[in-house]
Chains A and B, each alone.
Chain A
Amino acid sequence: MSNVEKIANKPIVIQSAYSLEGKKVDLRIESGVISDLSEAGSLKASDVDVINAEGLQLLPGLVDLHTHLREPGREDAETVRSGSAAAALGGFTAVHAMANTEPVADTAGVVEQVVRLGRKAGYCDVFAVGAVTQGLNGAQLAELGAMAHSMANVKVFSDDGKCVFDSLVMRRALEYVKQFDGVIAQHAQDPRLTENAQMNEGVVSARLGLAGWPAVAEEAIIARDVLLAEHVQARLHICHVSTAGSVEIIRWAKARGIKVTAEVTPHHLLLTDSAAESYNPVFKVNPPLRTERDVQALRTALVDGTIDIVATDHAPHPKESKECEWSEAACGMVGLETALSVVQESIIESGLSNWKTIAERMSTAPAKIGRLTHHGLGITKGAPANIVLYDTAARRTVSEIRSASKSMNNPYFDRTLPGQVMYTFLHGNLVVAKGDLVNPL
């Protein structure tokens, strides 16, 4: 159940965009698919709308496997509509709404509601993540089958925000979702080692007197879970990997043939725990910002494929949840509208990789993990026209005014980032044009 049935029929021609291979190409889009793709100058535009994409980078529509849309329950922070609008502005054509809403998305009713709201908004395809356990309690499995077989067709299950800490519950969940090709996305955090934890445990936390969140609390859970996944031959996905040690464990697991995938957030690719020096809780996030060494290890892992995807962990919070003491503040930062720019800065501008790899990590691979049928199929003739035109040369200062998200817990405000999404097509329909929202489907 996506926006795919609401396809527009009006054809449109894009001229002179850079392909992922760096060649200049023309595209023709109609009936929701890429109907023609050839070298620049070959597609004549008579009687159709034309977009001059001179200098713009063509990218497949991005897919986010980890998005907090907050609806139902915390509509003061974000709604499916505002969050999916932010997604479209960020170049995403599909997002996965996390389950930690109020009520928790642990029944077919809630996941269907979220998907229906996404369809009504029409800015991007909204898929629902189902909770692993009832009410995220970590003890009793939610009705995973009911969610999988609902109209929401849930494939990804996660208690994100909380770790499935009980080894037996985790084992059963991994096993159980095999019957419908599901995957468990684990928030890896040993709760005992992180009681009252405020930030990465290290030199900075020692100085600031903030209780530490040690790397081992993440790494120990990942080590256990890859072994469980191997034992029951199930698919495991690791949410927001944040440490160099976690990367080593995942690399080892993949070399062993374990079916594990992993994500990194844009903020863990760019920011470090030194941001906490200001005691401004806009930088408080879970897992916490780590050290420069971790940042470098995560970048390398993303480029070499040890980490499969970038996922935003877009986590909106109302102003009062951040305008307080650090230890009182909520964890999380918004990220949909800046994800591509942050990835450009940390991966492309640092010279580590290219747009083809980014397209793989932000579209193809996440779509594959979520078993999506109309996303991540690349930019080829006949593929669904979920595409983005991105101005890599733009430089923008991130501002509250331009944001579509209802929340302002954005760590990049007043910071200048590279790149700007100019156009986003959702099933052939223009939802973002010249950097602004236009018509939802």
Chain B
Amino acid sequence: MSNRSDVLSPKLSRHLLTISDLSREGAIHILDTADELARVSDAPIKKLPTLRGRTVVNLFYEDSTRTRISFEAAAKRLSADVINFSAKGSSVSKGESLKDTALTLQSMGADAVILRHSASGAAHRLAQWTDGVVINAGDGTHEHPTQALLDAFTLRKHLKGARGEDLSGVRIAIVGDILHSRVARSNVLLLSLLGAHITLVAPPTLLPVGVHDWPVEISYDFDEAIGECDAVMMLRLQMERMKSAFFPSAREYSRLYGLDRERMKKSKKNPLILHPGPINRGLEISADCADDVDSVILEQVANGVSVRMAVLYLLLGGSHE
């Protein structure tokens, strides 16, 4: 294995905390690596020896079965030892601080910590306290970099095809609760880095006040925005938002910002349908759209494993003595 700085040229920092850690070339390199590693998942024996003897900790302060399992599968396919550390029922629930937990894991010899946490910036803090690699698996309403990478991977596969390519010329609408979405933040950074044209579609209450600074277009009209799109990314709506007066009712939200067959007819290009999951059927997306031939929602899940293998491989593989 060549050393890490070669593998990651020109730039991938020691950790993956935010998409802004990546250069355009670095991002494409991850996607290309994922493409290569995807073949492992298709093989009868789904395993590479690359990370044998390395320990990867899944440190999850929020319930997220899908992301945790995806990282676990990725690490195991690279032969790493995986420790799942869930905050519930552990010392964390007895009031241990994130820092103390981090130092404990370090003492146990964790080479990488994959962190899911409800606080924005939690992965940044963790990286300040530990020597190991930190991978952000979702921090509060900040970022979810590997989700954006798997989305970009899925989009490139369908809309571009070849390795080495970016997403220039691709038009994508990201629809829903942008304000509270870490998936949206990471995707805005990554997809724009790769040259895609992004339109955010949401009611004004669910867009951040500083959104004018983002490299995106804003639309309050989904019917209009869907017209020219190559892909539509629907975001999960948290029902508790209704209590804080972000929108009047679930039905009104669904009528204005939900995806259904009627709205799909207004598109000129039969866009791909993406959703990070879990889906609220009948709220942000109708059941028939979720199960539509243009829906790549389940494929996103499969691609998630490949992309996470690539990230683990690139961050951990090269430094193995």
Contact = CB atoms under 8 A, between A and B. Distances in A.
Q: Do A and B come from one complex?
A: yes
Interface of A: 198, 201-212, 214, 278-280, 320, 323-328
Contacts of B122: 325
Interface in B108-148: 117, 119-122, 124-125, 128, 139-143
A205 B210 contact: yes
B213 A210 contact: no
Contact of A328 (B119, B124, B142, B185): B119
A327 B210 CA distance: 19
Contacts of A207: 185, 210, 213
Interface string B80-123: 00000000000000000111000000000000000001011110
A320 to B, nearest CB: 7
A279 B209 contact: no
A279 B125 contact: yes
Given A320-B97, A326-B119, A328-B119, A205 B125 contact: no
Given A320-B97, A325-B119, A206 B209 contact: yes
Closest 4 CB pairs of A and B: A279-B121, A206-B210, A209-B142, A206-B208
Nearest to B212: A203
Given A209-B140, A209-B182, A326 B213 contact: no
A203 B209 CA distance: 7
A212 B209 contact: yes
A212 B96 CA distance: 27
Most buried by A among B99, B124, B185, B208: B208
Contacts of B142: 208-210
A324 B210 contact: no
Given A206-B213, A207-B185, A209-B141, A324 B208 contact: no
Contacts of B99: 323-324
B97 A203 contact: no
Given A279-B121, A279-B125, A325 B209 contact: no
Contacts of B159: none
26 contacts: A202-B209, A202-B210, A203-B210, A204-B210, A206-B210, A206-B214, A207-B210, A209-B139, A209-B143, A210-B140, A210-B141, A210-B142, A212-B209, A214-B209, A279-B120, A280-B128, A320-B97, A323-B97, A324-B98, A325-B121, A325-B125, A326-B121, A326-B125, A327-B121, A327-B140, A328-B119
Contacts of A323: 97, 99
Given A201-B209, A209-B142, A209-B143, A326 B120 contact: yes
Contacts of A327: 119-121, 140
A214 B99 CA distance: 30
Nearest to B139: A209
Contacts of B211: 206
B236 to A, nearest CB: 16
Most buried by A among B124, B210, B211, B214: B210
B182 to A, nearest CB: 6
Interface in B141-165: 141-143
Interface residue tally of chain B, by bracket?
A: 20 to 34
Most buried by A among B120, B122, B140, B209: B120
Contacts of A214: 209
Contacts of A204: 210
Nearest to A212: B209
Contacts of A206: 208-211, 213-214
Nearest to A198: B120
B97 A208 contact: no
Contacts of A325: 98, 117, 119, 121-122, 125
Task: Provide the main secondary structure of the chain B interface.
Answer: mixed
B2 to A, nearest CB: 32
Contacts of A202: 209-210
A97 to B, nearest CB: 30
A102 to B, nearest CB: 20
B214 to A, nearest CB: 7
Contacts of A208: 120-121, 142
Contacts of B121: 208-210, 279, 325-327
B3 to A, nearest CB: 29
A202 B210 CA distance: 5
B125 A324 contact: yes
B140 to A, nearest CB: 6
Given A198-B120, A205-B208, A327-B120, 12 more contacts: A209-B142, A209-B143, A209-B182, A279-B120, A279-B121, A279-B125, A325-B98, A325-B121, A325-B122, A326-B121, A327-B119, A327-B121
B123 to A, nearest CB: 9
A214 B98 CA distance: 29
Given A214-B209, A323-B97, A326-B120, A209 B185 contact: yes
Interface string B178-194: 00001001000000000
A209 B120 contact: yes
Contacts of B125: 279-280, 324-326
B19 to A, nearest CB: 11
Nearest to A203: B210
B124 A212 contact: no
Nearest to A211: B141
A105 B70 CA distance: 54
A214 B97 CA distance: 29
Nearest to B207: A206
Given A206-B209, A323-B97, A279 B124 contact: yes
A208 B139 CA distance: 10
A204 B122 CA distance: 17
Contacts of A203: 210, 212-213
Contacts of B214: 206
A320 B124 CA distance: 17
A323 B117 CA distance: 16
A320 B140 CA distance: 21
A198 B208 CA distance: 14
B242 to A, nearest CB: 15
A324 B61 CA distance: 14
B97 A212 contact: no
Nearest to A204: B210
Contacts of B97: 320, 323-324
Contacts of B139: 209
Contacts of B128: 280
A324 B99 CA distance: 7
A397 B97 CA distance: 31
B94 to A, nearest CB: 15
Contacts of A198: 120
A295 B100 CA distance: 37
A207 B119 CA distance: 14
Nearest to A325: B119
B206 to A, nearest CB: 12
A201 B97 CA distance: 27
Nearest to B120: A209
Contacts of B208: 205-206, 212
